[in-house]
Amino acid sequence: MEINKNVEDDGVIFMSIKDKDQAECVKNTKENNGGDVTILAIESSCDETAAAVVRNGREVLSNIISSQIALHTIYGGVVPEIASRKHVEKMNGCIRAALSEAGLTLDDIDAVAVTYGPGLVGALLVGVSAAKAIAFAKNKPLIGVHHIEGHISANFIESKELEPPFVCLVVSGGHSHLVVVKDYGEYEIIGQTRDDAAGEAFDKVARAIGLGYPGGPKIDKAAREGNPDAFTFPQAKIGDAEYDFSFSGLKSSVLNYINQAKMQGQELDQCDVAASFQKAVVEVLASHAIKACKEYGYDKLAIAGGVASNTALRELLEKECKKNKISFFRPSPVLCTDNAAMIGAAAYFEYQKGVRFGLDMNAVPNLPLGDRERRYHANKN
């Protein structure tokens, strides 16, 4: 995996991600068009503007990400209005770069896909409006993709051999879900968070111990220097739903500890707090995921979402999966962040099922995962 980075004048980081297979894929693009489905995918649900070209759901021909993270750091989190404004500025550049790196024009594309939820509504609307305009102007089919189904589908890019059914643990800034992927595009949620998402807890704790935003990577790094057994923070169990998560209690307990230490003038060891907190989160996530595989009888476990790039979580799951004879699948970190390649992967399987969206597609900020109402799937045929 090779990442070309370029910091632009406004602080936005423009990235082109290439893996070793990509050059080969692009080379074969023109000759190999019989029956292939090539999708232009767009993603703008939070603070990353992204575009990618993906063939047959698994081959990434280009993957462009324009990351605004530096602009939001000073505000301690993503400011929706600033994110939305930047999306408008960056969108065309990302799409153009994605097409040119794939060696294609819009005429070579079979469909346009876009994230239509969940996410920040103002941010989503930029991608949705752009995708609709392009699909209309070029008379191409339009496919709306669920952001988290995109994250899950990043595994299809990373592991070409992975096929449903499998269990997927989805953990990100906005989501903590345990999902059974029954078939391509068919999801059953068996567990989810009752309060904060795992990534949200990471952000808040990082803020409180002075590590700053974004919390996930910063805690991950600090935890490597700390003692995970320095403190015991509670791991909430939800009585009536064994696969559900709760991170709010854990977060409060860490914040209380910090406040008390402050009041008593104690020196706070950031790294120990980070390591102990991370251990508590990661253990709950892993134990639920392994239990789900065993009880539902699946021998494949995948992870997805921003928190899936957390080192401790990966290590623990790898160990536990080995012990329980479960095959473990994980996207490389760059595919765990928000990107459009994963949206192109998810869109391919929707495309194959005949899903087509109408031009009245809207952004749906709280779009549910899986078995959602299909009213947005106005079939053109």
Partner 1 sequence: MRILAIDTSGLVGAVAIADGDIILAQFSIQYKTTHSEILMPMLDDMCRKVHLDLSTIDAIAVAKGPGSFTGLRIGAATAKGLALALDKPIIPVPTVDGIAYNLYGNEKVICPMMDARRNQVYTGLYTFVPKMPEGKSMERSFDMQIIHGQYAASLDDIIGEINSLGKAVILLGDGVPVYHDVLEKNLKVPYSIAPIHQNRQSAASVAALAAKMAGEGQLVSADEFAPDYLRMSQAEREAKEGSGEKKNAPGKSELKSPGIIRVRPMTAEDIDDAAALEKLNLGKEAWSRKQLLDAMTRDDTIYLVAEKAGRIVGLCGVQNISGDGEITNVSVAGDCRKEGVGYKMVKQLLERGHGLGIENYTLEVRGANAPAIRLYEKLGFKSEGVRPGFYEEPKDDAVIYWKRN
Query: What is the rounded CA–CA span in Å between residue 10 and residue 131?
Result: 25
Question: From the CB of 163, what's the least distance to partner 1, in Å?
Answer: 35
Residue among 213, 178, 181, 180 at smallest CA distance from 197:
178
Contact (CB, 8 A) for 219 and 211: yes
Question: From the CB of 228, what's the least distance to partner 1, in Å?
Answer: 23
Tokens of 62: 């280009």
Question: From the CB of 169, what's the least distance to partner 1, in Å?
Answer: 22
Site membership for partner 1, residue 356 (CB under 8 A)? no
DSSP 112-124: EEEEEESS-HHHH
Q: Count CB-CB contacts under 10 A for residue 37.
A: 17
Which CB atom, from 114 or from 170, has the smaller least distance to partner 1?
Answer: 114
Residue from 39, 113, 131, 369 in contact with partner 1 (CB under 8 A): 131
Residues 290-329 that bind partner 1 (CB under 8 A): none
Contact (CB, 8 A) for 308 and 282: no
Site size for partner 1 (CB under 8 A): 48
Which CB atom, from 76 or from 234, has the smaller least distance to partner 1?
Answer: 76
Question: From the CB of 356, what's the least distance to partner 1, in Å?
Answer: 14
- In the shown chain, the binding pattern of residues 182 to 221 toward partner 1, with x for contact by CB under 8 A and - for none, equals ------------------x--xx--xx----x-x------
- In the shown chain, the binding pattern of residues 237 to 276 toward partner 1, with x for contact by CB under 8 A and - for none, equals ------------------xx--------------------
Question: From the CB of 87, what's the least distance to partner 1, in Å?
Answer: 8
Q: Look up tokens 């996930």; give the residue.
A: 216
Site membership for partner 1, residue 93 (CB under 8 A)? yes
Tokens of 266: 């104690």
SS3 345: helix
Residue from 9, 20, 35, 74 in contact with partner 1 (CB under 8 A): 74
Site membership for partner 1, residue 79 (CB under 8 A)? yes
Site membership for partner 1, residue 1 (CB under 8 A)? no
Residue from 58, 132, 314, 330 in contact with partner 1 (CB under 8 A): 132
Query: What is the rounded CA–CA span in Å between residue 83 and residue 85?
Result: 5
Beta bridge partner(s), residue 146: 117
Site membership for partner 1, residue 108 (CB under 8 A)? no
Residue among 142, 156, 134 at smallest CA distance from 58:
156
E strand spans, the chain = 2-7, 13-18, 38-43, 48-55, 59-67, 111-117, 142-146, 166-171, 176-183, 186-192, 300-304, 327-329
Contact (CB, 8 A) for 273 and 209: yes
User: In the complex, which residues of this chain contact partner 1 (CB under 8 A)?
Assistant: 74-79, 81-82, 84-85, 87-89, 91-93, 95-96, 106, 121-122, 125-134, 136-138, 200, 203-204, 207-208, 213, 215, 255-256, 358-360, 362-363
